[in-house]
């Protein structure tokens, strides 16, 4: 089994120590480095080549949001899971828009943090439908008209089937659930998702969901 290479980023040494002890005890996870500030991250990523970065949002010099944006611009970008103390926070939304694959609360039970790292390493976003809806409601208070217009312009590049899949992703459905609802195979759903990501220059399903919400495609009747 190849271990998941994990980089820890948090300005609190006690938090880093706790995470290192907790995560390092798992046989399938290898802690390859630690950073106390977002400004240290890119150099550490170059040196350690992590698969996943567990990133605190609030740090004194360069915050986790800026560090995430810089990382996700790289061709060889690792997956990023942000650490936060809030369920629905504007900075969490900005991190997800920048390409973070999800977030975990700092008081999340250890087993769930381990599960989040494993899921992200496997290519799955760490957002349940319930959390997605909560974030969307928070986004409703922060989304501007210009964001809606921009989102609709981008969505227009999709064909009808891709648009339907985007709406389903935005509703937090799994590939299997989308396949059942749209009468297609799971493999076909995966193909559509890959095409959507490529067409819209997005990193992951979370960004598809946020874009669908911004474009106001997630109304109750599904149109």
Strand-by-strand arrangement of the 79-84 sheet: 29-35, 4-9, 52-56, 79-84, 102-105
> Residues 149, 126: contact at Cβ < 8 Å?
no
Listing DSSP states for 162-217 in one string gives HHHHHHHHHTT--HHHHHHHHT--HHHHHHHHHHHHHHHT-SSHHHHHHHHHHTT-
Tens of each residue's pLDDT in the chain, 223 residues = 689 999 999 999 998 998 888 887 888 999 999 999 999 999 999 999 999 999 998 888 898 889 998 998 888 889 999 888 766 567 777 888 888 888 888 888 888 888 889 988 887 777 655 566 666 666 555 545 677 788 899 999 999 999 999 999 988 888 889 999 999 999 999 999 999 999 998 888 888 988 888 888 876 444 4
pLDDT (0 to 100) of residue 202: 87
31 contact partners, CB below 8 Å, separation of at least 6 = 6, 7, 8, 20, 23, 24
User: Among residues 146, 37, 52, 127, which one has the least CA distance to residue 88?
Assistant: 127
pLDDT (0 to 100) of residue 222: 42
pLDDT (0 to 100) of residue 167: 93
pLDDT (0 to 100) of residue 160: 94
Q: What pTM was estimated for this model as a whole?
A: 0.70
Tokens of 205: 């399903």
């Amino acid at each position: 089994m190849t271990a998941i290479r994990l980089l820890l980023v948090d300005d609190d040494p006690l938090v880093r120590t706790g995470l290192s002890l907790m995560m390092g005890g798992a046989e399938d996870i290898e802690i390859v480095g630690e950073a106390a500030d977002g400004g240290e991250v890119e150099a550490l990523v170059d040196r350690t080549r992590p698969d996943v970065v567990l990133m605190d949002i609030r740090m004194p010099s360069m915050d986790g949001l800026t560090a995430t944006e810089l990382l996700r611009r790289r061709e060889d970008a690792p997956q990023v899971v942000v650490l936060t103390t809030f369920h629905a926070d504007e900075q969490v939304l900005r991190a997800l828009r920048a390409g973070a694959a999800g977030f975990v609360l700092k008081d999340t039970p250890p087993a769930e943090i381990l599960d989040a790292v494993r899921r992200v390493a496997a290519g799955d976003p760490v957002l349940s439908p319930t959390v997605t809806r909560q974030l969307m409601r928070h986004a409703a208070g922060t989304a501007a008209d210009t964001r809606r217009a921009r989102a609709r312009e981008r969505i227009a590049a999709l064909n009808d089937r891709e648009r339907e899949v985007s709406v389903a992703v935005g509703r937090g459905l799994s590939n299997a659930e989308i396949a059942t609802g749209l009468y297609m195979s799971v493999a076909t759903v995966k193909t559509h998702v890959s095409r959507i990501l490529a067409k819209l220059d997005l990193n992951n399903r979370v960004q598809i969901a946020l874009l669908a919400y911004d474009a106001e495609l997630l109304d109750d009747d599904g149109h």
